[in-house]
Amino acid sequence: MTSETEGLGPLPQIHPRERLVDEAEQQLRMSLISLHKLGLTTGEFLQVVSNVLGGEVRSIARYAIRVERHGNTETPGGWAS
């Protein structure tokens, strides 16, 4: 152990899915770079990214809000039983 790591204890283990997340991030980053190479202006590029990712974010947020407000989303109408 070096003086820099003394007293810090063992390093936390990386969750197995973390590598999958890292790979997905890298693929998305490369896709965004490819899109930018099409010659889009900054505004056009941001519009494309916003249109695609915004729908996904809205969908996830809608479900999260439903769970926060109503709890059990498995029942009809999303109301807690």
CA 28, 29, 30, 33 torsion-angle sign: positive
Asked if the model's pLDDT at residue 73 lies above 60, the reply is yes
**Residue 48: what pLDDT?**
92
Asked if the model's pLDDT at residue 79 lies above 60, the reply is no
Q: What's the angle, vertex CA 30, arms to CA 25 and CA 36, rounded to 5?
A: 125
* Containing structural domain, residue 59: 41-73
pLDDT digits (tens, 9 = 90+) for 1-54: 555 556 778 888 888 899 999 999 999 999 999 988 899 999 999 999 999 889
DSSP letter (8 states) at residue 21: H
**16 inside domain:** no
Asked if the model's pLDDT at residue 81 lies above 50, the reply is no
**Ranges of H-type helices in 1-81:** 16-36, 42-70
Alpha-carbon span 50 to 81, nearest angstrom = 37
Alpha-carbon span 46 to 40, nearest angstrom = 9
**32 inside domain:** no
**Residue 70: what pLDDT?**
81
Number of domains comprising the chain: 1
Please give the average per-residue pLDDT across 62-69, as a whole number: 85
**51 inside domain:** yes
Alpha-carbon span 2 to 49, nearest angstrom = 45
